[in-house]
Chains A and B, each alone.
Chain A
Amino acid sequence: MTENPTADYEHVDEDIEAVVEDTELPRRLKDEIYGIVEEHEGISVEQADDIAKATETRYVDTRVDPLDPVGTVSAQSIGEPGTQMTMNTFHYAGVAEIDVTQGLPRLIELVDARKTPDTPMMTVYLDDEYADDRERAHEVVWSIEATKILALGDVSTNVADMVVRVDLNDETLQERWPREDDVGEIAQRIADTIEDALGVETRRQGTVIQFGPEQPSYRELLQLVEQLREIVFKGIEDVTRVVIRKEKLDDGGEEFVLYTEGSAFGDVLDIEGVDGTRSTTNNIHEVYRNLGVEAAREAIINETMDTLEEQGLDDVNVRHLMLVSDIMTNRGTIESIGRHGISGSKESVLARAAFEVTVNHLLDAAIHGELDDLDGVIENVIVGKPVAIGTGDVDLKMGSIGGGTAKEVTDGGESEIEPADD
C-alpha cells in the first residue's frame, strides 16, 4: 500500500481523504473519487462524503450475493452473445493480410482447448534496437519465416544428364543472410543442407548447385526435386509467412511488429531481437508450455475477449470470461469445457450423464458401483429436490432458538459452480 494515496492531489485534504478511505471501495475507485474531487475544485467534506457513500452503495449493489449461481450466469452471458456471432468468417480483419479464424468457430476452438488453432499466428514484438530499424527488423523476419528453395532461386532438371540444377539468386541470398558477406559461402551452406537432407553428393560452382541420383533413374530424379522443395534452409518450419507492420506506440513513437502465419512460440522466444516480454501467440497450449498455467489463463481471457470484441460484443463483462478461464486452468493444465474436460470429470454421475453420452456414463457408473452424493445443482434438478443455490440453500427454522423468533440458518452447503457449457 502506498503511504499517502492522495499526495498528488491538490484539492484533496485530510478530511476528504478520511471519509473516502473509510469506505469499502477498492483502491481504483477511491483513486477515481480523488480524481473527481480534484477536477471539481472546492468540493466540501460533506459533498465528498456524499459522493463516497453513493459510490459505495452502488459498488456494494454490484457484488455477487452469497449463493449466487455465478457459473450459470456466466454461461448465459457468454452463450447469448454467442448466438449473435457469425458462423464463419475467414476475413483478413484485424491484422494486415493474415487470415485469422474469428467469431463462433474461434470461441468454440478456445473453450474446446484444441491442441492447435485452425489458423495459428503469432504477434512478435522486437527489442528496441530492432524495432525501429527496418533492416534489422527484416533480419528477424528471415530468421523466423521458413525459407524454402523456391524462394532462393530456380530449380530445373536435366533429364539427359540426370541432374537437378539449382540456380540461386545472389540478391536473395544476400538479403536473407545479411550477416554473411560472401555469397559463395552461403551457397555452400545451402549445398551442405541439401546433402544432409537428401543424402546426395552436390557439386557447386558459384551459386549454381547440381546433384543427381546415384543410379540414373527418372523416378528418383523427380523424387529428389519433390524433397528439395520441402527443405527448410532458414527460419522455422511451422511459420509459413511473416508480415511486418509499422505500428504507433502510446508515446507517439513507432515500432515494427511482426505477424506470423503459423506458430512456434518457444522457438521464436529464443531468437535474437525478439522481445520475449510482449510477444504472444494465439495458441493457448503454446503459451501454457512456454510460460506456464497462469499465463495460459491470461491468454484465454485475452483471446476470448478479443474474439467477442471483434464481433462488436464487447459489453460482455470480462468477469465471465475470467471465470471460464479460471475453471479451465484450475488443475494446473488447460482443460476443455465439455465432455472431454470439465463436464466429463465432474464428481457426480448424474451431472455427467445429464451433459452428453448419457448411457455410457450411467453404464460405467453402474459397473463401478459409483455413488452420487446429490450435492450439486444438476443432480438435484434431476431427482426433484431443491438445489443448493440461492434460497435453495437456506433453511428456515421456526421458533427453534430461544425467544421464539424465526431465524434464518444457512447450513453452509457448498454451492457448485457450473462451468459455462454452451
Chain B
Amino acid sequence: MVDVSQHELVPDHTVLDDPEEVEAVLEEYNVNKTNLPKIKRTDPALRETEAETGDVVRIERDSRTADRAVVYRLVVE
C-alpha cells in the first residue's frame, strides 16, 4: 500500500487531541464544531492517524497565496 501522506497533493493532517486546542479554534472562528468543513473518518489521508468521529483535524496546506494555510476539518462518519 502506498503511503498516502507522501503524495504532494496531500497536506499534513494532525488530529487535535487536546480539547482546549479545539476550543481555541472554535473561539477564533466563532463557530460551532459542526460549522467546520468535514472530513470522512475513512478518508485515505486519515488512515495513519487514529481519528475518531467528532475529532477535529488540523490541516496545514502549502498555500498558493499564503505560503502555509492552516484549516480545520471535523471528522464525520
Which residues of A approach B to under 8 Å, CB–CB?
26-28, 269-270, 276-278, 280, 287, 289-295, 298-299, 301, 318-319, 322, 326, 329-333
Contacts and interface: CB of A to CB of B under 8 A. Distances in A.
Which 5 A-B pairs give the minimum distances between C-beta atoms?
A292-B45, A332-B38, A295-B9, A276-B2, A292-B43
Nearest to B43: A292
Contacts of A329: 37
Interface in B26-62: 37-40, 43-46, 59, 61
Given A292-B45, A299-B9, 12 more contacts: A28-B67, A270-B2, A276-B7, A291-B45, A292-B43, A294-B59, A295-B10, A298-B9, A322-B64, A331-B38, A332-B38, A332-B39
B7 A291 contact: yes
A270 to B, nearest CB: 7
B76 interface: yes
Interface string B1-31: 1111011111101000000000000000000
Interface of B: 1-4, 6-11, 13, 37-40, 43-46, 59, 61, 64-67, 73, 76
B8 A277 contact: yes
Contacts of A332: 37-40, 43, 73, 76
A396 B66 CA distance: 35
A322 B1 CA distance: 30
Contacts of B13: 294
Contacts of A287: 9
Given A26-B66, A294-B59, A318-B64, A289 B44 contact: yes
B64 A293 contact: no
Contacts of B59: 294
A318 B9 CA distance: 16
A95 B7 CA distance: 22
A294 B4 contact: no
A292 B67 contact: no
B9 A276 contact: no
A291 B4 contact: yes
Given A291-B45, A332-B76, A276 B3 contact: yes
A294 B7 CA distance: 11
Contacts of A295: 4, 7, 9-10, 45
B1 A270 contact: yes
A326 B7 contact: no
A318 B63 CA distance: 11
A77 to B, nearest CB: 15
A291 B44 contact: yes
A292, A293, A330: residue with the most chain B Cβ atoms closer than 10 Å = A292
Contacts of A298: 9, 11, 61
B40 A293 contact: yes
Contacts of A270: 1-2
B43 A293 contact: yes
A172 B46 CA distance: 43
Contacts of B44: 289-292
A333 B2 contact: no
A26 B68 CA distance: 10
Nearest to B39: A332
